[in-house]
Amino acid sequence: MTKTTRSRIASWRGGALLLCLCALVGLAGCGSSGNNGSSGGKVTLSYAVWDQPQVPATKRIISEFHRSHPNIDVQVQVTPWDDYWTKLRTAATGGSAPDVFWMTLAYFKYYAKGGALMPLDSQIDASHVDMSNYVPAIRSAYRFDGKTYGMPRDVNSFGLFYNKKLFKQAGLSAPDGSWTWADVTAAARKLTDKSRGVYGIVAPEVDELGWYLTIPQAGGYVLSPDGKQSGYDQAASVKGIQFWVDLVNKYHASPSLQQMTDTDPLSMFTSGKAAMYYGGSWDPVAISAVPYAKANVDVAPLPHDATRLFYSNGLANTIYARTKHPKEAWEFTKFLASKRAADINATTGTVIPAYKGEADNYVRSMPWMHLQRIVDQLPNARPFPSTIDTSVWRDNATKEFAKAWTGQETVPAAAANVTKQMNAALADEGK
């Protein structure tokens, strides 16, 4: 072999060895910093959330917590809503779920029954937390089998967000507390301008911001009080859904389901492509982040029908049953449920805290919007329909009603199908 060949061979082998070493070092280095590290008394907790716009306020809360608890670090893990529950369940089954995470009523009972959540009563007693500080509805919603599993975080209310500029251009007066469904429909039709690609309203095929508001307003219900019967086939419930479907298919005042899948409804509203949007108390932060929307959007009370009632949710912070740091996780969760944390959430306009007495802070946080109108609706809230395995029948309903949105099925036919599936699922739960 010549000298050059020898040196080239040497460099190849050297390269191979280097590659080997890199791999080993990389694996070793990253393998050890796997799950929550705790070295020398310092503990790192993971906190899972799904809503990116709420992260800034959350990070402020964490930094304040860290000042009083310097040995505890908290890492926020943001997973988009569509993936959040998938990942959480996989992680919970695999023993690697985050230490503290957001919980919602739709999934609460499933997780509580499945033993994935840590009961908090003993910690609450030991820390002398006064549970009467929280909105009773949320407080009791996160109890299961006589135990408390979640610390209330927020309570949801809703409003009709509208584009002031588009209303003025169409010569319409702004919505107010007197509006009924008929007013919404009439305004939506007037505001729709196909030539400019503008719609009067967005009518997304969702329950929480859609028919969970209109069904109670029409006097119907989704779940019977004993939790064993579906109410979707009631005439009033059908009416509540028909309201949305007509906006899409009859009056063409809303984009189609295909359009709203193609482009997200909230972005259509904040970019001026739609004039009205039924939104939640957590939406103002996202809406105000868009300069055009901040300048032109305001909110009115929800239009009513026979009643003003609506279904309302509220989040809680829960602790993973198999967390490796139960004491630290409780310290953090306790802080998350404290008045200080509620202050931060309210003054940033992020959510209406479940801690009583923060509503004024929330209202004052964004003077360019009449948030008071959202808060005023709270007395009309009714408990979010949930059973042991809510997602089975809820996802089914969403899938079935999509056919009504695309005109494949009439609303009564879809409602009848949903009721059948839902009752079967509820019967299965009883077994």
Partner 1 sequence: MSSATSQRSQGTPARRSSNVVPHVVLCIGAVFMVGPFAWEVLTSVKTFAASIHVPPVLVPNPFEWHNYLTVFQTLPFGRLFLNTVLMTVARTAGQVIFCSLSGYAFARLHFRGRGLLFGLFLSVLMVPSQMFLIPQYQIIQHLGLLNTVAGLSLPGMFSAFGTFLMRQFFMQLPVEMEEAARLDGANPLQTYWHVMLPLSAPGMLALGILVAIWSWNDLLWPLVVNTDPAKMPLSAGLASLQGEHLTNYPVLMAGALLASLPLIVAFIVFQRHLIQGIASTGIKG
Partner 2 sequence: MSVSLDKSEPATVSPGYGPTRTRRARRTRVHRGEGWWALAMLVPTLVGLGVFSLWPIFQTLYYSFTTWGAFGGHVWSGLANYRSLLSDSELLQSLLNTFIFTAVTLTSVPLAIVVAALLNRPGMRGLAVYRTLYFLPVVTLPASVALMWKLLLSGDYGIVNWLLSLVHVNGPYWLSNPGTAIYALAAVSVWSSIGFNMVILLAGIQTIPRDYYEAAELDGAGKVRQFVSITVPLLTPSIFFVTVITVINSLQAFDLVYLMVGVNNPALDHSQTIVYLFYKTGFIDHNGGYAAAIAFVLMVAILVFTTVQFRLQKRWVHYV
**Interface residues toward partner 1, by CB under 8 A:** 8-9, 12-13, 16, 19-20, 22-23, 26-27, 30-31, 33-35, 46, 52, 75, 77-83, 87-88, 90-91, 94-98, 197, 262-264, 266-267, 271-273, 290, 292
Interaction partner, residue 236 (partner 2, partner 1, none; CB < 5-8 Å by kind): none
Q: 199 or 355: whose CB is closer to partner 2?
A: 199
φ, ψ (nearest 5 deg) of residue 62 = -65, -40
Q: Which of partner 2, partner 1, none interacts with 356 (beta carbon under 5 to 8 A by kind)? A: none
Q: Cβ atoms within 10 A of the Cβ of 42, count?
A: 11
Alpha helices in 246-370 (DSSP H): 257-262, 265-270, 283-288, 291-296, 326-336, 339-347, 359-365
81 binds, among partner 2, partner 1, none (CB under 5 to 8 A by kind): partner 1
Measured from the CB of residue 373, what is the shortest distance to partner 2 in angstroms? 30
Residue 226: name its binding partner from partner 1, partner 2, none (Cβ under 5 to 8 Å by kind): none
Q: Which is nearer to partner 1, 31 or 430 (CB)?
A: 31
Interface segment toward partner 2; rule CB under 8 A; list 18-26, 341-349, 350-358, 401-409: 401-409
Of 171-179, 217-225, 257-265, 306-314: span binding partner 2 (CB under 8 A): 257-265
Amino acid occupying residue 283: D
Q: Select the binding partner of residue 46 from partner 1, partner 2, none (C-beta < 5 to 8 A, by kind).
A: partner 1
Annotate each residue in 91-120 with x if it binds partner 2 (CB under 8 A) or - if it does not, as one string.
-xx----------------x--xxxx----
Supply the minimum distance, in Å, between the C-beta of residue 22 and partner 1: 5
**Among 25, 100, 85, which residue's Cα sits nearest to residue 50?**
85
Q: What, of partner 2, partner 1, none, does residue 258 touch, CB below 5 to 8 Å by kind?
A: partner 2
Which one, 293 or 302, has the nearer CB to partner 1? 293
Distances (CA, A) of 356 to 90, 136, 347: 35, 10, 14
Burial of 76 per CB tally in 10 Å (0-12, 13-18, 19+)? middle
* Shortest CB 176 distance to partner 1, Å: 29
Chain residues 71-90 in contact with partner 2, contact rule CB under 8 A? 82, 86, 89-90
Q: Please answer whether residues 238 and 248 qualify as being in contact, where contact means their C-beta atoms are separated by less than 8 angstroms.
A: no
402 binding partner (options partner 2, partner 1, none; Cβ < 5 to 8 Å by kind): partner 2
Give me the amino acid identity at 142: Y
How near is the Cβ of 289 to partner 1 at its closest, in Å? Answer: 10
Whether the CB-CB separation of 382 and 309 falls below 8 Å is answered with yes
Instruction: Tell the burial category of 251 from Cβ atoms under 10 Å away from its Cβ (0-12, 13-18, 19+).
Output: middle
Q: 200, 277 in Cβ contact below 8 A?
A: no
Residue 404 interface partner, choices partner 1, partner 2, none, CB cut-off 5-8 Å depending on type: none
Candidate list 55, 170, 402, 416; residue touching partner 2; CB under 8 A: 402
Contact 344, 57 (CB under 8 A): yes
Q: Return the sign of the alpha-carbon dihedral for residues 196, 198, 200, 205.
A: positive
Report the alpha-carbon distance of residue 385 to residue 310 in Å, rounded: 11
At 323, give phi and psi (nearest 5°): -65, 150
- When CB distances are held under 5 to 8 angstroms depending on the partner's kind, the choice from partner 1, partner 2, none that residue 110 binds is partner 2
CB burial class (10 A; 0-12, 13-18, 19+) of residue 262? exposed
Nearest approach, Cβ of residue 68 and partner 1 (Å): 25
Please provide the DSSP assignment of 35-80 as one string: S--EETTEEEEEEEE--GGGHHHHHHHHHHHHHH-TTEEEEEEE--
The footprint of partner 2 (CB under 8 A) covers: 82, 86, 89-90, 92-93, 110, 113-116, 197, 256-259, 261-263, 398, 402, 405-406
